[in-house]
Amino acid sequence: MKKKLNILRHIIIAYAVLLAIWQLAASFSGVSSALFPSPGRVLLAFRELSVSGLSGSSSDATLSVHIRDSLLRFAAGYLLSAAAGITAGLLLGWFPRAFAYVNPVIQLLRPIAPVAWLPFLVLLVGIGDLPAVTIIFIAGFFPILLSTASAVQNIDPVYLRVAGNFGLSQRRTLTRIVFPAAFPQIAGSLHLALGTCWIFLVSGEMVGSQTGLGFLIMDAKNCLRADALLAAIITIGVIGFLLDQLIGLLERSFISVRGLGPQNSKRRS
């Protein structure tokens, strides 16, 4: 409990110092408040966005609507990438000969920035939610797939010998032995992919979407509203931070329940 209070105190102090520096910079920089708004003006922009939406915008959506639509797109793309990446990674890691043929194609596609596919996706499926969801899916799929395949290939052979001694089928070995043993590394890839997917959500929503935080950033720019722009940026950062904490909590809880990871090793010892 004391450790948590110390962490909370550090967070409060850090943000208080940041706000003070921001206020001083806005007051004495000599830059127009329209270009470099103070924390107070950004707070008023938050209020405007939350109550009535951005003034002069092409959309009457409020901040809560933008957040809701962004989270729905993010959840769809991220969960699809996790399911597809883990499944493909388990299979390719379990069948190394197949992975040897597929890996060159993966290494060719993996370095391509997900947003590079955006013009093609818009031409192919039009504007709307699908391009943004696809961008999020691409951003998370390859890291999860490669990390899962690597985790499977590096499993301690003792686990596989135990499965063979009990006469488990390949399917049961994958689901009961291989997946739990590889999960700590898979969980790490899910954690990293979450941040990547959230970053590319904004890029995906900047083209074609009529709601969402990425759309709100472009809308605030077009309306020359730096205060609303900063409000949208802060919202993205706060939600990204909360999502990161949530996935970390779920990761630790799952590893604890399954008896995996260093925490449980210490507890048993």
Nearest-angstrom CA–CA distance, 184 and 46 = 39
| Structural tokens at position 217 | 């950033």
3-state helix, strand, coil in the chain (%, to 5): 80, 0, 20
Q: Note whether 64 and 71 are within 8 A (CB).
A: no
Is 153 in a helix, a strand, or coil? helix
162 alpha carbon, distance to own chain's centre: 36
Nearest-angstrom CA–CA distance, 128 and 228 = 23
**Left if phi > 0, otherwise alpha if psi is -120 to 50, otherwise beta: which for 32?**
beta
269 residues of the chain, pLDDT tens digit each: 777 788 888 889 998 999 999 999 988 877 887 788 999 999 999 999 999 889 888 788 899 999 999 999 999 999 999 999 999 999 999 898 999 999 999 999 999 988 888 888 888 877 778 889 999 999 999 999 999 999 998 888 887 887 777 777 778 888 788 888 888 889 889 999 999 999 998 888 887 788 999 999 999 999 989 999 999 999 999 999 999 989 888 877 777 765 554 444 343 33
Q: Which residues of 235-267 are buried (b: 16+ CB within 10 A; e: fewer)?
A: bbeebbeebeeebeeebeeebeeeebbeeeeee
| Structural tokens at position 147 | 């990390």
CA neighbor of 80 nearest in space, from 172, 193, 203, 246: 193
Instruction: Using the structure block, give the residue that is written with the tokens 């127009």.
Output: 32
Q: Which residues of 83-113 are buried (b: 16+ CB within 10 A; e: fewer)?
A: eebbebbbbbbbeeeebeebeeebeeeeeee
Q: What is the DSSP letter of 60?
A: -
| Structural tokens at position 199 | 């970053």
Nearest-angstrom CA–CA distance, 228 and 63 = 10
